[in-house]
Structure 1
Amino acid sequence: MKSTAEEIASLWREQMKRGYLKLAILFVLTKNPSHGYRMVKDIQGFTLGLLTPTVGAVYPALNELEKDKLVKGMWKEKGKKKVKVYEITRKGREVFRKAVEKHLNLVSATQNMILKELETLGIIKKNEPSPRIYMQAVKLLLLNEKAGKDEKIEALEKLKDGCHQLKEALNTMIENIEKRIDDLQSSHKNTDNNAQHIIANCK
Structure 2
Amino acid sequence: MGMSEDRVARSMKEQLKRGYLKLAILYTLLEGPTHGYKMLKRIRESTLGLISPTAGSLYPALRDLERNGFIVGEWAGGKRRVKIYRVTERGKKIFREVVEGHFNLVLTIRRWLLKELTPIHPMEGLDVSSGIIPLAMKILLSGGIASQEDKINFLKDLKETLKRANEVINNLITNIDKRLIELERGETGKSIDVG
Aligned to 1:170: 166
Q: Which has the higher contact order (CA 8 A, sep 6+)?
A: 2
Which protein shows a greater Rg?
A: 1
- Residue 50 of structure 1 and its aligned partner are, at CA, apart by 3.8
TM-score by length of 2: 0.72
- Aligned pairs (5 A) from 1:58-69: 58-69=58-69
Q: Over residues 131-172 of structure 1, what are the superposed CA-to-partner deviations in whole Å (9 max), with x where a residue is unaligned?
A: 13356345324434555x5xx535643552343233223213
TM-score by length of 1: 0.70
**Cα 1:115–1:58 shift into 2, 3 Å:** same
- Tell me the amino acid that sits aligned with residue 21 of structure 1: L
Please say if residues 27 and 143 of structure 2, whose CA atoms lie closer than 8 Å, have aligned partners that are also in contact: no
Q: Secondary structure at the match of 1:32?
A: coil
CA RMSD, Structure 1 to Structure 2 (Å) = 3.2
Q: Size of the alignment, in residue pairs?
A: 184
Aligned to 1:200: none
- Aligned pairs (5 A) from 1:103-122: 103-122=102-121
Aligned to 2:53: 52
Aligned to 1:182: 178
Structure number with higher helix proportion: 1
Unpaired runs of 5+ in structure 2?
188-195
Please say if residues 139 and 150 of structure 2, whose CA atoms lie closer than 8 Å, have aligned partners that are also in contact: no
Please say if residues 70 and 89 of structure 1, whose CA atoms lie closer than 8 Å, have aligned partners that are also in contact: yes
State the identity %.
34
Matched, 1:83 2:79: no
Please say if residues 100 and 137 of structure 2, whose CA atoms lie closer than 8 Å, have aligned partners that are also in contact: no
Unpaired runs of 5+ in structure 1?
192-203
Matched, 1:9 2:9: yes
Please say if residues 27 and 144 of structure 2, whose CA atoms lie closer than 8 Å, have aligned partners that are also in contact: no
